[in-house]
A and B are shown apart, each in its own frame.
Chain A
Amino acid sequence: MSSRDTKGPAKPARRRVMQQGVALSAAGMLGTPFAPSAWAQGDDLAPYRAAKINWRQVEGQEITVAVIPASYFDNLIALQPQFEALTGIKLRFEKVPPGQIRQKAVLDLSSKTATYATHAADPMYYPLYATNKWVEPLDKYLNDATLTDAAWFNNNDIIKAWRDAASWNGQPYGVPYDGEVTVQVYRKDLYAAKGLKPAETLDQLAANAKALNDPANRMYGLALRGFAGAGQNMYIYPSIYRGYGGTWGSGSNLVVNSPQAVAALTWYVDTLTAYAPPAVRNWNWPDIADAFSQGTIGTYVDAHSSAAVINNPEKSKVVGKIAYARWPKGPSGKRVTSIWTWSFPINAALSDRAKKATWLFIAWAASAETQARTSWKFAGPAKRSGINRVSLWKSPEFAAAMKDAGDNFIPAALESLEQDTDVDWRPRVPQWPAVGDTMATAIQAALVGQKKPKEALDEAQVRIAQIMKG
């Protein structure tokens, strides 16, 4: 039986066809609202069967996958019937708000409940997960020929910056499904009118902001995330800090109040105070993208995926006026962009059978085929821009799908991903959740003028030293 599956896309046996027919109609009866469109856009499983593995080796297994509410996961959920038909594994998706998914995942992993076979994981949590052995090291899955057809899966094609972010001490613990890279987003019409160029340095970024800033007419030069949070202001500030030449120190000896840190935070505070909407201190990126789409902001620096919001014709007034560029260099000449990836780990508390099923799900979700089917091949309106593979980023189909995003969209994002990333742009330590929150609070205290940058960072340093010790 299994030899059939290991010899690639042989002609399916009659029984197998019937099994799939049953799986198919079952999926239809369960009334998955997406099912018709998912099948309409190419239900052909042959591209998956090209992999020399037995997709049905743990048929009948059930797994639960926690994701966040986001269109790029909705597209994946829409393809659920295809995965179930391919593998015979029953999937249960659970959408958990981003604010709670970390909490629920940590509870589940630490108590070894094994509720979630895998979840959309925050890359900064891998040091914590790996240190506690809550998730599986993935090299054994990648290297097991019964589970992974290395040539077909082509792990090295997955964007290295994201793979590194989902690794710890050189060992992969998660496989990136979707991701982001931070770029400059600017109004090319306003830039042209004033003869401005996208900034190459932080100084130029501030100068551009100054040139465009006109609060009396509800026009602000620049917006950067100000909201307190490890994934909010502590997502943008580290890039500035690294651009100023700062490093986080080594091992458990975290340094957050170096002279470069004070200079970087001072730049952040001064620039936002001078050229950003006053409310930016409480803005996360959806707020920034909303404001930009209403035409009240000249430039922002944030995730490339925000292109979807600012190009939404139902919401945005600036469609066709947008262009992109890489993160500006800091005074040290360094250009360190911030990156994000939602990746899938394997819960170590699962049974072996469930672990295999989970791996098959991960391999399916991260495969080039599924990535394409959730992006330009997707029948619905949302085409993912956070696809995980270099080859797909360079494909003409992706370029065609992204052609309306604005000028220089793919080159800016791809160059940033390939050249401007540094896995240690934020301090990767098991204590990250607490460290990140402490830093976020300090940054916001400085942003709202409660404390001077140096004072805020010195206090954070004391607290973080305690966290690292305890």
Chain B
Amino acid sequence: MPRTLWRRLALAAVAGVGVAVWVFPVLWGLLTSFKTERDVLAYPPVWLFKPTLDNYREVIFGASSIVPNLWSSFVLATATTLLTMLIAVPAAYALGRLRFPAKRMSGFYVLVTQMLPPVGLIIPYYLVLQKLGALDTYGGLTVIYLTFALPFAIWLMVTYFEDIPLEMEEAALLDRAGRLRTLWYVILPQVRGGIAVTTIFVFLNAWNEFMFAVVLGGNRVRPVTVAMFNFISVEQTQWAKVAAGAMLAMLPVIIIGLFAQRHIVKGLTVGAVKGGGRR
């Protein structure tokens, strides 16, 4: 009995250290967001201080409120995620299951698009969007986001489809279910976890994107990542406001994360539990 207790304590300690490394920056940001600019710079750093809500008031209601930018981020990330999943799920299924000419090559091609450093694509994208009149529009930026979200989602989903025993599908086909029926009723429920994981990662990537948004966006489409940057001016960095903005920007992501946690864990372990498919 004591032995297992020790074991548990040791495990908790190790886990605690691991979690602390992750939590510290977030906690620090959270504390900073309640400090005055003066307390932010205090040395040695203060842990006890008179908290203020001024930073939040400023980033929510102030002249440079980030609320419209949170909305921008939400629209962009949601549109990107919906379109990506709509295309990626059937595409991944096709790549994972169907036989068609040039299958290997098309799979490889999807991957190739990920091999270019994104920074090299900014100028071509700018010129293309300019020609289409799509600079600083939701449509334009969503299409650009698809270019990195789709390949990522397809390749992630392929692994989930490949993990499903072929027999399940064959059984359904034998029962005279069509391809689409099989996909909908038999296959998709099996990869629910995978879909959840992929959806969240795609959403997160779009939500956190900065580089394309800052160049290809503008006054109309300005996600929160870009808006927050404006608290870092040439005159001074308003750390407390950056922190308050960051906390607000994290909030939706954390909520979605908590909501989908069950699926994520399931998604990550599904292969292991079921003994895997062909791998």
Give A contacts to B, CB under 8 Å.
33-34, 64, 68-71, 74, 92-98, 100, 103-104, 107, 111, 113, 115, 218, 286, 289-290, 293-294, 296, 305-306, 308-309, 312, 314-315
Contact B234 A111 (CB under 8 A): no
How far does the Cβ of A432 sit from chain B's closest Cβ, in whole Å? 19
Are B41 and A115 interface neighbours, CB within 8 A? no
A309–B130 contact, CB under 8 A? no
Residue with the highest number of chain B CB atoms closer than 10 Å, among A64, A100, A312: A100
Q: Is the CB of B63 within 8 A of A74?
A: yes
B215 at the A/B interface (Cβ < 8 Å)? yes
- B83 on the A face (CB < 8 A): no
For the side of the interface on B, what is the size category?
20 to 34
The answer to whether A289 touches B236, judged by C-beta atoms less than 8 angstroms apart, is yes
Contact A97 B229 (CB under 8 A): yes
Q: Let me know if B38 and A314 touch, CB within 8 A.
A: yes
* Beta-carbon contact of B235 and A286 below 8 Å: yes
Distance of A287 from chain B, by nearest CB (Å)? 8
Bound CA span A100–B233, Å: 12
Give the chain A neighbours of B219 by CB distance below 8 A.
Answer: 64, 92-94
Contact of A97 among B38, B130, B135, B230 (CB under 8 A): B230
14 contacts between A and B (CB under 8 A): A34-B63, A68-B233, A69-B230, A69-B233, A71-B235, A92-B219, A94-B219, A103-B215, A113-B130, A113-B135, A286-B235, A286-B236, A294-B42, A315-B37
- Minimal beta-carbon separation of A225 from chain B (angstroms): 12
Contact of B233 among A70, A92, A111, A294 (CB under 8 A): A70
Chain A residues lying within 8 Å of B130, measured Cβ to Cβ, are 111, 113
Is B218 positioned at the interface, with any CB of A under 8 Å from its CB? yes
The answer for the CA separation of A375 and B136 in the assembled complex, in Å, is 33
Q: State in angstroms the CA–CA spacing of A117 and B199 once bound together.
A: 40
Q: CB-CB < 8 A to A113: which residues of B? A: 130, 135
Q: How far is the CA of A300 from the CA of B132 in the complex (A)?
A: 49
Take A103-B215, A107-B123, A115-B218 as given contacts and tell me if A293 and B41 are in contact as well, using a CB distance cutoff of 8 Å: yes
Main secondary structure of the interface of A (DSSP, over half): mixed
Provide the bound-state CA to CA distance between A239 and B233, in Å.
24
On chain B, the residues within 8 Å of A70 by CB distance are 233-235
* B36: interface (CB < 8 Å): yes
CB distance from B65 to the nearest CB of A (A): 8
Please determine whether A97 and B235 come into contact, CB atoms closer than 8 angstroms.
no
Task: Choose among A111, A286, A309 the residue that contacts B127 (Cβ–Cβ < 8 A).
Answer: A111
* Residues of chain B whose beta carbon lies under 8 Å from any beta carbon of chain A: 36-38, 41-43, 63-64, 123, 126-127, 130, 135-136, 214-215, 218-219, 226, 229-237
A470 to B64, CA, bound (A): 43
Q: Are A97 and B214 in contact (CB under 8 A)?
A: yes
Contacts of A93 in B (CB 8 A): 219
A10 and B24 CA atoms in complex are apart in Å by: 66
B43: min CB distance to chain A, Å: 6
CA distance A104 to B214 in the complex (A): 9
A113 to B136, CA, bound (A): 13
User: Bound state CA distance, A290 and B214, in angstroms?
Assistant: 27
Closest to A294 in B: B41
- 8 Å CB contact of A315 from B41, B136, B230, B234: B41
| Structural contact, B236 and A290, CB atoms closer than 8 A | yes
A78 to B5, CA, bound (A): 65
B43 touches A294 (CB 8 A): yes
A residues near B231, Cβ cutoff 8 Å: 69
Whether the Cβ atoms of A100 and B36 lie closer than 8 Å is no
In the bound assembly, the distance between CA atoms of A103 and B38 in angstroms comes to 33
Q: Within the complex, what minimum Cβ distance (angstroms) separates A150 from chain B?
A: 32
* 9 closest A-B pairs by CB: A69-B230, A69-B233, A94-B219, A97-B229, A315-B37, A70-B233, A33-B63, A286-B236, A113-B130
A97 to chain B, nearest CB (A): 5
Beyond the given A115-B218, A294-B42, please list 8 additional residue pairs across the A-B interface where CB-CB is below 8 A: A69-B234, A94-B218, A95-B230, A97-B226, A98-B234, A103-B215, A107-B123, A315-B38
**CA–CA, A335 and B130, complex, Å:** 47
Choose among A74, A98, A104 the residue that contacts B215 (Cβ–Cβ < 8 A).
Answer: A104
Q: Which residues of B contact A306 (CB under 8 A)?
A: 235
Distance, CA A312 to CA B218, complexed state (A):
31
Contact of B232 with A314 in the complex, beta carbons under 8 Å: no
With a CB–CB cut-off of 8 A, which chain B residues contact A309?
235-236
What's the minimum C-beta distance from A413 to chain B, rounded to whole angstroms? 16
A312 smallest CB distance to B (angstroms): 8
Contact A111 B126 (CB under 8 A): yes
Roughly how many angstroms separate A96 CA and B218 CA in the complex, as a whole number?
8
Complex contacts, B36 vs chain A, CB 8 Å: 314
Closest to B62 in A: A33
Report the minimal beta-carbon distance from A308 to chain B, rounded to whole angstroms: 7
Residues of the A chain whose Cβ atoms lie less than 8 Å from the Cβ of B236: 286, 289-290, 309
- Please measure, in the bound complex, the distance between the C-alpha atom of A97 and the C-alpha atom of B214, giving whole angstroms: 9
The reply to whether B127 and A97 form a contact with Cβ atoms under 8 Å apart is no
Nearest residue (CB) in B for A103 is B215
Q: Which residues of A contact B226 (CB under 8 A)?
A: 97
Shortest distance in angstroms between A340's beta carbon and chain B's nearest beta carbon?
9
CB pair B63–A218 under 8 Å, yes or no, is no
Cβ distance B46 to chain A, nearest Cβ, rounded Å: 13
By a CB distance below 8 angstroms, the chain A residues around B38 are: 314-315
